[in-house]
A and B are shown apart, each in its own frame.
Chain A
């Protein structure tokens, strides 16, 4: 109860302050600001006088968020240098001071972003965002001056989604850089970037991007509504948003693709998806996505379509192997000995002699060890990282087999299924696969192939029953769409890829009017 009371009282204070407009007395303003920002040691203010009769001015900003040189050169210096503009014989102070602000804005400040504000809430929001606010005595307006500049990571190569071909750059933590990267690729007025602020404390700038005449309007407004309804103290990564706007809160399946590649985001925007970016995180959410889409890698679209299609088959096979291989192996060893070919059985018999654990326990131990190694490799500092893999390779690969604790075929199977889980181009889908693998392993240990089938049926039924923002999670496999299933299984050549993947409410499904085969007339020699 007390919490809710606090919440409501906070809200009321916020409401009161919002209405509080700037006082004409600069001293009072200064006092209020100092009071509200008490304890913020990075809060800076600079007082000065200019013109004749001298007018008192106050510049407030937060250290580290602003470019001080801009404040010095383009704000304070230009005011001092242009003092002659402000000498007035008129002593009617009210008109003089009101004109002063406009004069400053229109004739003096050599800065691109300048706008008026009139209340404390805006002042505080803007200085927190890295802008500078200029207040004048006897003025009920202030000027917000865009001087944002902070230490930011430069655009660098994508680290988690590396490709051989295609663009290399990745998003950074700075929202403006990220929107610029998208805007540079989609030079169209129909590419919309809607801005909103989320988080009571963090007040994180969030962008909802989509292409207006491709993305279904109902889906966009649904996402917008869900975003605007979020009430949370802070947003530190886009992962927060995914859970906050989801339609299936109790589900392991991810409805959004997390990516740090601008080209991947643009590709998805062009297929009628929307994306959400926030300030402070290089990961961008693309939604809604479907499960079969996780087999697509960004590379696919940059290399020749024939190998790209074959690689896609390979990835789909790897997905199946990652999910089922260990489970099938365990169930063969425990329940279905007749299904092992005799020569393989001979090898397995000699390898499994003296292994103290049942096949299921052995597989479970090895899988857990593999996950431990993966997790340890992720957490360890770069300098110690390789040590883990050496220890892992030595202990798991050699010593455990030598000691007779595990059998070699099992190590091979676990290692293979471990590798295949990393083939899946989407990290999130890889995680789902690895978690589900344990479910299948337990099912196999309990009921053999029968258990695997039960687990598979439950998994597929569950996946088929969910849909995100009107897109069924398994489409186009279920509901089946013959035309689009080719888009998932194969990579269509660009000259024959006229249709975008269909979504409910999509207005503009055609990429271009008709198939455009590379014409024979353009071939060298025929023109002569």
Chain B
């Protein structure tokens, strides 16, 4: 009986604990995306909030999001000041994307990286984007296409992008932060920019921002981004590859990639400290479209088509490598590959990797196979 009494007392005492603090949903305002920038030596935090709408009908109108900004010396202060004059408590659990201003990236990511990863409210598996030629507030004020909220629209677009175009891959916050602090690999982030389309502005992805240390130093264009994706992507099983039509100049042949895997191995010659990266690309694709004429779908033409596709892949990849070596940022993670192959050797060269990376040689070999041609097994022969 004594135990019963004790347990009843304990249960009632538990209810007085202040462990969890309950918050009713109407008392909260949910942020679904944030943007951070560095302006006038202050951190500016912009956030897209879900507008608590009175009825469902309102949520379909364009004013369903609220964009608010706060400024402070640190990100924490900015976030605090942002919520200062709000009647509701902001909640950051549902942030689905983080936009980093170009200015901030070029100054120092370390201004915000600590708070972003330390706070308990922001998830670590959300994608990061760099804004090029604009600021977060302008981006958030752009009307999203087909969706209600810009942030969710961006996060979903990024996911889709990887499947469709095979150029950009969402870079999640924890991946970015890990690359930021790991020697022998540098991070990249997809860039977003505002494009004028007739009367209104739309957003589009535009290359990759390349970091060196905590600063952004350059960006890759689309072709280089594609090369970067081919080299570093895992399980690539979609995307298009265009080559010129060999029979009909000015027209194209489109291949649909069904598999692409790049195998990179460092070849280390210890005595003279020479490193050669051996890159072997295995790709499969389907014959997707032929514009223009020419009887291409013949067995004797296949080697030629495959050779052209291989050359194209090689061109993308070597473009990317050349650019990376040019700006001297090891975004391909070659330093890490050397570390994996020979830790001892890497230990010796790590301090001067910065100077060695631009001079690293590479051998590139691609291998492309055409698998299917879909419904027509012949090319059009136009009567003239």
Contact = CB atoms under 8 A, between A and B. Distances in A.
A142 B158 CA distance: 100
A454 B23 CA distance: 21
Interface string A423-454: 00000000000000000000000111011001
B25 interface: yes
B372 to A, nearest CB: 36
Nearest to B58: A350
Nearest to B28: A337
A351 B59 CA distance: 11
Interface stretch (A188-196, A338-346, A488-496): A338-346
A67 to B, nearest CB: 56
Which of A335, A337, A349 has the most CB atoms of chain B within a 10 A radius of its CB? A349
Interface string A331-375: 001110110001001101111111100110000000000000000
Contacts of A351: 56
Contacts of A454: 11, 14
B121 A448 contact: no
B47 to A, nearest CB: 15
B56 A447 contact: no
Nearest to B51: A349
A352 B25 contact: yes
Interface string B56-80: 1001000000000000000000000
Given A350-B55, A354-B54, A337 B22 contact: no
B317 interface: no
Contact of B30 (A334, A349, A354): A349
Given A350-B56, A353-B26, A450-B19, A342 B32 contact: yes
B20 A337 contact: no
A337 B19 contact: no
Contacts of B299: none
Nearest to B95: A342
Interface in B84-139: 91, 93-94, 96, 121, 123
Given A337-B28, A352-B26, A355-B26, A346 B50 contact: yes
Interface centre among B28, B59, B121, B123 (most CB of A within 10 A): B59
A448 B28 CA distance: 17
Interface in A454-480: 454
B65 to A, nearest CB: 11
B30 A337 contact: yes
Name, among B19, B21, B22, B32, the residue most crowded by chain A CB atoms within 10 Å (CB to CB): B22
Nearest to B94: A342
A450 B123 CA distance: 21
A407 to B, nearest CB: 9
B146 interface: no
Contact of B20 (A348, A350, A448): A448
A338 B25 contact: no
Contacts of A338: 91, 93-94, 121, 123
Contacts of A333: 24-25
A213 B24 CA distance: 61
B32 A334 contact: no
B246 interface: no
Contacts of B23: 334-335, 337
Given A333-B25, A342-B152, A353 B14 contact: no
Interface string A301-332: 00000000000000000000000000000000
B24 A358 contact: yes
B361 interface: no
Interface string B137-162: 00000000000100010000000000
A353 B54 CA distance: 6
A335 B26 contact: no
A355 B25 CA distance: 10
Interface in B285-331: none
B235 interface: no
A329 to B, nearest CB: 12
Contacts of A358: 22, 24
A342 B15 CA distance: 29
B9 interface: no
Main secondary structure of the interface of B (DSSP, over half): loop
A349 B15 contact: no
Given A338-B94, A349-B52, A354-B54, A446 B26 contact: no
Nearest to A446: B15
Contacts of B20: 335, 447-448, 450
A85 B316 CA distance: 126
Nearest to A361: B24
Contacts of A334: 22-24
Nearest to B59: A350
Contacts of A342: 32, 94, 96, 152
B17 interface: yes
Nearest to A407: B25
Nearest to A330: B22
A351 B32 CA distance: 18
B19 A447 contact: yes
Contacts of B93: 337-338
B121 A349 contact: no
B182 interface: no
A354 B26 CA distance: 8
A369 to B, nearest CB: 21
Contacts of A350: 53, 55-56, 59
Given A333-B25, A337-B23, A447 B54 contact: no
Contact of A349 (B19, B50, B152): B50
Contacts of A359: 24-25
Contacts of B94: 337-338, 342, 345
Contacts of A450: 19-20
A358 B28 CA distance: 13
B54 to A, nearest CB: 6
B57 to A, nearest CB: 9
Interface in B348-362: none
Interface string B21-53: 111111010101000000000000000001011
B22 A448 contact: yes
Contacts of B55: 350, 353
B14 A349 contact: no
Contacts of A353: 26, 52-55
A351 B55 CA distance: 8
A204 B282 CA distance: 87
Nearest to B7: A458
Nearest to B50: A349
Contacts of B26: 352-355
Contacts of B54: 353-354
14 contacts: A334-B22, A335-B22, A335-B23, A337-B30, A338-B94, A342-B152, A346-B50, A348-B25, A350-B56, A353-B52, A359-B24, A359-B25, A447-B17, A454-B11
Interface of B: 11, 14-15, 17, 19-26, 28, 30, 32, 50, 52-56, 59, 91, 93-94, 96, 121, 123, 148, 152
* 3 A-B pairs closest in CB distance: A338-B93, A334-B22, A446-B15
Given A345-B30, A349-B25, A353-B54, 4 more contacts: A335-B20, A337-B93, A342-B152, A454-B14
